[in-house]
Structure 1
Amino acid sequence: MQTLSPVKAAEREIFMDVLRGFAILGIFIANLGSGFSGYNESAHATGPLLAQDWDHKMTFLHHMFIEGKFYSIFSLLFGWGIALQIKRGLDKGTDALPTIKRRLVFMLLLGAIHLLIWTGDIVFFYALLGFLLLPCRKFSNKTLLVTGITLIVLPILLYAAKSQWHWLNAPSDLLFSTGQKLDLKLTGITSEAEYFEYAKHANWWDILKGNISGFFFRYGYLFFVSRIPKVLGMFLIGYALGRSDFYKNIAQNKKIIYWIIGLGLLIGLPANFYLARYMTYFSNDYWSMKIKGLYQTIFYALGVVPLAMAYVGIFMLSFQSNAGKKLMSVLTPVGKMAFSNYFLQSLVGNFVFLGPGLGLTGTIGPFYYTFFGIGFFIIQIIISTIWLKYFNYGPLEWLWRSATYKKWQPMRKTETISA
């Protein structure tokens, strides 16, 4: 009879880095479509790297298999990570909260800087919500899971309510109108056509001015799509996952994982098919708050998280085999340097698509930028692997850790890491 032994902490951390690396890939491809490329099937998008039929098909596939799934995984890992930090503190007889709060404050600072580089930043947003997560740590695991699931489906009710009582959308309207006024003052942009020309030819100072007003558009968007309950809900589920030692006891939990995968695919695939259909063909209805927009919200709530959890479950089971572990471990260096790699993706996205670099805004469609995203991610795997042969952390991880512990951390491999 086989003895069921718990997973060691080191192996768990490697798996989390693998999953984090996978999430970074999906987030980059999603960001290429939603922000960097400027494509969005616009009539002003022109160029040799647009393939209308293939771009349309790829857009559908993005909505079905990528949209929302990877920030959901990243959110799960965020809550999971905070739970492990608190558990480690309890094991040592120390209070981890002051350290976690310092980490979140420094995240806010880095996120604010990143917002000036690219307005699609999630670091600042996650740090803010991290402070909302901390009071929930006293909830039972059952309460965390029930509350998390409730928050994930809450956008259905919010969308229905806002479509009936428009004043409920006042925060989003205020942020959008502020962004428009500031954008006109700082950049003079009044139309989509002007934006394309601005993005292609602007210098770094112009881009910075655009990003200042872009902050208001970004947070207007986050309020409109009810991103707060979606992300916070995944934080809570991740926290319950980490505190319950679910992965540590994976041998005993395999049946649950099979159920997560099975239900995730059974519910997630058809729901995401219809989500992709509504996002591809009826996206204007969503922003106009029409009935098809409500349908899109329903399929998003029912489809995104189940499919994301199915991805996680598949990774969990695959990582238990030697072959799966060896294959998937190539993602570990990227995940270990996730912060640095996320920022690097923003810098590269800016260079490729904006005026100070190649200025290719609106000239590359989903078919080609998907392969570009995968290709650059392979480069990130190589760079991260080489970097971590000589250094203990990525550059931003090193700064983050040093600020958290209020002393410079050993950067080179030859130096000793203090506990």
Structure 2
Amino acid sequence: MSESPPAAGPIDNSERVHVLDALRGFALLGVFLSNSLNWFNGRLLLPREQALALGAPPLEVAVNSLFALLVEQKFVTLFTLLFGLGFALQMSRAEGRGTSVVPVYRRRLLVLMGIGLVHMFAIWFGDILTTYAVVGFLLLLFRQRSEKTVLVCAALFLFVVPIGFSVGQRVLPALTGGAAEVERAQKATREEEARRRAAYLAGLSSDSVVTTQQANARYGWDSIPNPNRPVLLSIILGRFLLGVWAGRRGLLQDVERHRPLLRKLTAWGMGVGGVIGLVVMGINLALLGATSVPGWVVWMRVVKDVGILFLGVGYAAAFALLFQKERWKKVLGVFTPAGRMALTLYLMQSVLSLCLYDGWGLGMVGRTPPSLTALLSVVLFAGQVAFSHWWLARFRFGPVEWLWRSLTYGRMQSLRGVSSPASAAN
């Protein structure tokens, strides 16, 4: 009689790929900065004139410019790539056990979606977990496809679909004579969005927790039917697939074997992404304070997305190469525990930010300049890193990771455990 395959369960700490954990923790810092500078501090909710005045001093212009060049969307891209790579690892480990990845993976996504929905409506509307869960189901369609097919489909969803969507939105109406009507509809949409954001900001400024969270839930619900959502979902799926391809190739699991390719990815990613980022930054500075924006600037979104992808890939490759050097490993390894409990810290960032910015907390929403927001984010994240070191020296998982695993596998996981201060950071 043949032996039955071992039951699925969480991997042991000795099986973890530590560079991936460290890279995930590093990405989480950039995600927190992005969410704080764009949303938590209320910048994108302010009227344009007020937002410009808050960011007008030279220091704030410099901080905003560096943020747009080096951080904005790059770390979200990195985080998304790691999600796809994680799927490839789960698939290979399931195959190694002689089992299918599908049942456990589906349960993981369903639980993640549940956590995301609670986060979206009860805490902060900008949740990304629900989107990851929805798009994550599509990865199952590619689990038996070749590396070439995965890479081609990644390019299709990253570039072809967004460009085609933009052309359909803007060029076709002009060709069919409906451009004026489309422009009126877009103007009405912008005005409605400005009204919704003003109401949301007013709700966040309230000294009542109930009022702020009602405003959050209302804004989150109204944001679901977004005309640009197909582009967002396409780009996320493309990044997932790029991560799947990297995971199958073992780019970050076996850095030494892929060192030449990783060096090329670092050079091309930093080079192309950096040049595009500088061009976009120059255009933004030239148009700073302009009352109207030229129509051609809209098409820069496609170019900007290319630069974001290249720089995100460059960050990942450079991080992996540096992690192989003993001195750098000690420095970058500080992020490892944060990466192991990234879900807990991501949710914690939302809660901490509500306490900091909402009216019932310190009431700083709409008042903090970019420099102060960035400083507060870095300080809070440093505290999170310290907390993750302390926690994982005593427990196997982060608290939300423990809940996620327990619900996924249908049995309570052992939380007390095996980590030591040394192993948590390595």
TM-score, with length taken from structure 2: 0.84
Q: Report the counterpart of residue 127 of structure 1 in structure 2.
A: 133
* 2:258 maps to 1:258: no
* Higher alpha-carbon deviation: 221-230 or 387-396: 221-230
Question: 38-47 or 212-221: which moved more?
Answer: 38-47
Contact map agreement 1:59 1:280 (CA 8 A) in 2: no
Report whether the alignment pairs 1:89 with 2:94.
Answer: yes
Percent identity between matched residues is: 29
Which residue does 2:17 correspond to in 1? 13
State the partner residue of 2:375: 371
- The residue number in structure 2 matching 1:57 is 62
The answer to whether 1:149 aligns with 2:155 is yes
CA deviation after TM superposition for structure 1 residue 237, in Å? 0.9
Q: Secondary structure at the match of 1:372?
A: helix
**Among candidates 163, 166, 170, match of residue 170 of structure 2:** 163
Q: Secondary structure at the match of 1:128?
A: helix
> Structure 1: how far apart are the matches of 2:288 and 2:158?
21
Q: Of residues 303, 308, 324 in structure 2, which corresponds to 1:304? A: 308
Report 1:12-411 matches (<5 A). 13-40=17-44, 42-44=48-50, 52-116=57-121, 117-154=123-160, 155-165=162-172, 190=195, 195-220=200-225, 223=228, 226-279=231-284, 290-294=295-299, 296-411=300-415
Query: Following the alignment from structure 1 to structure 2, what is the Cα–Cα distance between the partners of residues 284 and 11?
Result: 53
Deviation at 1:284, TM superposition (A): 11
Mark the runs of 5 or more structure 2 residues left unpaired by the alignment: 1-12, 420-426
CA distance in 1, matches of 2:117, 2:321: 37
Secondary structure of 1:95's partner? coil
Distance 1:299 1:50, change over 3 A: closer
The CA deviation string for residues 27-76 of structure 1, in whole angstroms up to 9 with x for no partner, is 000001221001247434599x9772211221111111112111111111
Q: What one-letter code is carried by the residue in structure 1 that aligns with 2:141? A: P
CA distance in structure 2 between the partners assigned to 1:196 and 1:215 by the alignment:
13
Contact 1:268–1:306 (Cα < 8 Å) also in 2: yes
Q: Which runs of 5+ in 1 are unaligned?
A: 1-8, 184-188
Q: CA deviation at 1:223?
A: 2.4
Matches of 2:357 and 2:39 in 1, distance apart? 10
Provide the alpha-carbon RMSD of the alignment: 3.2
Q: How many residues align?
A: 395
The Cα of 1:365 is off from its aligned counterpart by 1.3
The question of whether the paired residues in 2 share the 8 Å contact of 1:145 and 1:240 is answered with yes
Match of 2:8 in 1: none
Q: Distance in 1 between matches of 2:418 and 2:61?
A: 51
- For 1:148 and 1:306, how far apart are their aligned partners in 2? 14
Maintained 8 Å contact 1:51/1:365:
no
Which residue identity is paired with 2:245?
Answer: A
TM-aligned CA deviation for residue 240 of structure 1 = 1.3
Secondary structure of the structure 2 residue equivalent to 1:392: coil
Q: Is the 8 A contact 2:21 2:336 kept in 1?
A: yes
Aligned to 2:422: none
Verify the 8 A CA contact 1:260 1:309 in the aligned structure 2: yes
Asked if 1 retains the 8 angstrom alpha-carbon contact of 2:206 and 2:360, the reply is yes
Per-residue deviation, 1:224: 5.2
Cα distance change on mapping 1:72 and 1:12 into 2, 3 Å = same
Give the superposition deviation at 1:263: 0.8
Q: Distance in 1 between matches of 2:284 and 2:242?
A: 27
8 Å CA contact 2:19–2:252 kept in 1: the answer is no
Give the 3-state SS of the residue equivalent to 2:257 in structure 1.
Answer: coil
Question: What letter is aligned with 1:239?
Answer: V
Which secondary structure state, in structure 2, belongs to the residue aligned with residue 357 of structure 1? coil
Asked if the contact 1:274/1:299 (under 8 Å) is kept, the reply is no
